Amino acid sequence: MIIVTGGAGFIGSRLIKTLNAQGFDNILAVDDLSDGKKFKNLSNARIRDYEDKDTFLQKLNDNNYSEKIEVIFHQGACSVTTEWDGRYMMKNNYDYSKQLLSYTLAHKIPFIYASSAAVYGNGQIFEEQIAYENPINVYGYSKYLFDQWVRRLLPEAKSQIAGCRYFNVYGPGESHKGSMASVAFHWQQQLQQGDTLRLFAGTEGYADGEQRRDFVYVDDVVAVNIWLWQNPAARGIFNIGTGRAQTFNEVARAVVHEAGRGKIEYIPFPPHLVGHYQSFTEANLSLLRDVGYDKPFKTVEEGVAAYWREVHGA
Among candidate residues 139, 144, 166, 217, the one labeled active-site is 139
For the chain, the domains span 2-170+215-243+284-298, 175-212+245-279+304-312
Among candidate residues 50, 177, 277, 293, the one labeled active-site is 177
Dump pLDDT digits (tens) for 217-260: 999 999 999 999 999 999 999 999 999 999 999 999 999 999 99
Quick check: is 177 catalytic?
yes
Asked if 134 contacts 123 with a C-beta cutoff of 8 angstroms, the reply is yes
For residue 188, CA distances in Å to 148, 254, 301 come to: 37, 11, 14
Q: Which CATH class is domain 2-170+215-243+284-298?
A: alpha beta
Give, for all 314 residues of the chain, the pLDDT tens digit.
999 999 999 999 999 999 999 999 999 999 999 988 899 999 999 999 999 999 999 999 998 888 999 999 999 987 777 677 889 889 999 999 999 999 999 999 999 999 999 999 989 999 999 999 999 999 999 999 999 999 999 999 999 999 999 999 999 999 888 888 899 999 999 998 999 999 999 988 899 999 999 999 999 999 999 999 999 999 999 999 999 999 999 999 999 999 999 999 999 999 888 877 888 999 999 999 999 999 999 999 999 999 999 999 86
Q: What is the pTM of this model?
A: 0.95
DSSP β-bridge partners for residue 168: 215
Kindly give, in sequence order, each residue whose CB lies less than 8 Å from that of residue 157, ignoring residues fewer than 6 positions away: 105, 235
**Spatial CA neighbour of 22 closest among 171, 229, 173:** 229
Quick check: is 50 catalytic?
no
Neighbour-count burial for 203-237, b at 16+ CB within 10 Å, e otherwise:
beebebbbbbbbbbbbbbbbbbbbbbbeeeebbbb
Give the distance from CA 287 to its chain's centroid: 18
Q: Are the folds of 2-170+215-243+284-298 and 175-212+245-279+304-312 the same?
A: no
CA dist., res. 306 & res. 283, Å (int): 22
Dump pLDDT digits (tens) for 278-309: 889 999 999 999 999 999 999 999 999 999 99
Q: Which CATH class is domain 175-212+245-279+304-312?
A: alpha beta
